[in-house]
Structures are given as C-alpha cells and as structure tokens.
Chain A
C-alpha cells in the first residue's frame, strides 16, 4: 500500500499570510500515462470534503487561485498564497495511482 505522509499536522496562520502543506508518498505517483495521481482536498468544519487540486497542480472548478499545488514523483506541496478565514479546516492529500486509494493523515489549518 502507498503511505501518504503529511506535514505539518496543524498550522496557525495570520490572515493574509501564506501557508504551505507537504505531502510525501512512499512510492512514485507518476503513472505510465504521464499523469501524476495526487490530489488535495479540504474538509471545512462540519462539511463534506471538497476537491481543491487534481493531478498535482490543477485547480478544480471554482477553487480560488490563491491555492496552488506543485511537486513530482513522491514529494508534493499545497500552498495558499494569502490565507483567508474561509480556508480553515483539514487538508488531505490522496493518491489514486493504485488501489487501495490512500489519504494523508490531514493537516489542520487554523486562523490566528
């Protein structure tokens, strides 16, 4: 199974400041089709998860451009350029290059 490791576990950010979350996979997520199957989700308090970023760096429909994803192979990063109050919640990375699909443990973002 591919293990997804996220850091930090939690971060407290001043509004308007940047934030960054790291996700490392135990195996490369680069598929033979050339795509890298790494995704980022945000679960706001009391809500279902929502897709933010697909295939490392593509913003899902309606996701603000202050969110960006980068990385390759086994190392990935989600960045929020200027954190807003609406960004609080738990962020998860997920791989879908192979079954079982696996999620990172989550990174909780709070506002200072």
Chain B
C-alpha cells in the first residue's frame, strides 16, 4: 500500500524555523519527483515546492524562495521541507504528494502554526 506520512508540524513563533518530514512507503521513492502543497485555514490549495528524483532540481513558489528548502533522502525514503524565517501567513496544513505531473497520492498533512 502506498503511504505518505508527514510529520514535524508545530506551533512556532514568527521568524522561527521548522523542518517537515514525509515518510514514504509502498513505491520506489527514488523514481519519483515529489511535492509539498499547503492549505491555509479555510483557503484553497497552494503549491509550495517540487524536487526531482535525485534532488538535482528544485522548484519553489516565489513567496518561499530563499526561506524554504525542499530536500530528500532516497536511502531513507524521506522527503523534507526546511522552513526558515516563518511568517504568520505560512500557517497552513502542509501536504506531501507524489508527483508525475499529477499528484496521485497525498499524505494526511501536518499542521504548521506561526504565531506569537
């Protein structure tokens, strides 16, 4: 069974940092690009970042460039999102998703709250 399990969400103060993780099982992780997508409370879906199979290429939405870093460890079947300089507007549920131009498999999400 294909599974994506996010973790690492927490309450953090503005300006703080957080590292999200996504543990993957049920498919050959190293063969697939992966995404992070977020959803602010009561809002729609917003793409955040994508990483190629081997980590050689990464893509970000403008408003996280320079603050967030997507990475992966193919040996550990894990995807990460390092989030620095967090702002109140980064408050959201963060989902990881398997990417083949479509996002066919999603995790359950992990909640990040940025507040003082």
A: residues with CB less than 8 A from B are 35, 37, 39, 41, 43, 48-51, 54-55, 60, 90, 92, 94, 96, 99-106
Query: Shortest distance in angstroms between A96's beta carbon and chain B's nearest beta carbon?
Result: 5
A39–B103 Cα gap in the complex (Å)? 9
Q: Is the CB of B103 within 8 A of A51?
A: yes
Which stretch from B15-23, B43-51, B69-77 is at the chain A interface?
Answer: B43-51
- CB contact between A48 and one of B35, B59, B101, B108 (< 8 Å): that residue: B108
Cα A49 to Cα B62 with chains together (Å): 23
Chain B contributes a number of interface residues (CB within 8 A of A) equal to 19
A54–B35 Cα distance when bound, in Å, is 17
Contacts across chains A and B counted by CB atoms under 8 Å = 54
User: Judging by beta carbons under 8 Å apart, are B95 and A49 in contact?
Assistant: yes
- How far apart are the CA atoms of A92 and B103 in the complex, in Å? 12
Query: Could you list which residues of chain B lie within 8 angstroms of chain A, going by C-beta atoms?
Result: 35, 37, 44-47, 50, 59, 61-62, 95, 101-104, 106-109
Please, could you name 11 A-B residue pairs with CB atoms under 8 Å apart, sorted by A? A43-B45, A48-B95, A48-B106, A48-B108, A49-B106, A55-B102, A92-B45, A94-B103, A99-B50, A103-B46, A106-B45
Please tell me if the beta carbons of B109 and A48 are within 8 angstroms of each other in the complex. yes
* B40 smallest CB distance to A (angstroms): 12
- How far apart are the CA atoms of A96 and B33 in the complex, in Å? 13
Which residues from chain A contact B95 at a C-beta distance below 8 Å?
48-49
Additional pairs, 4, CB under 8 Å, beyond known A51-B104, A101-B47 = A54-B101, A94-B103, A96-B102, A100-B47
Is A48 within 8 A of B107, CB to CB? yes
Q: Which residue of B lies closest to A39 (CB)?
A: B102
A60 to B102, CA, bound (A): 10
Chain B residues lying within 8 Å of A60, measured Cβ to Cβ, are 102, 104
Which residues of A have CB within 8 Å of B62? 100
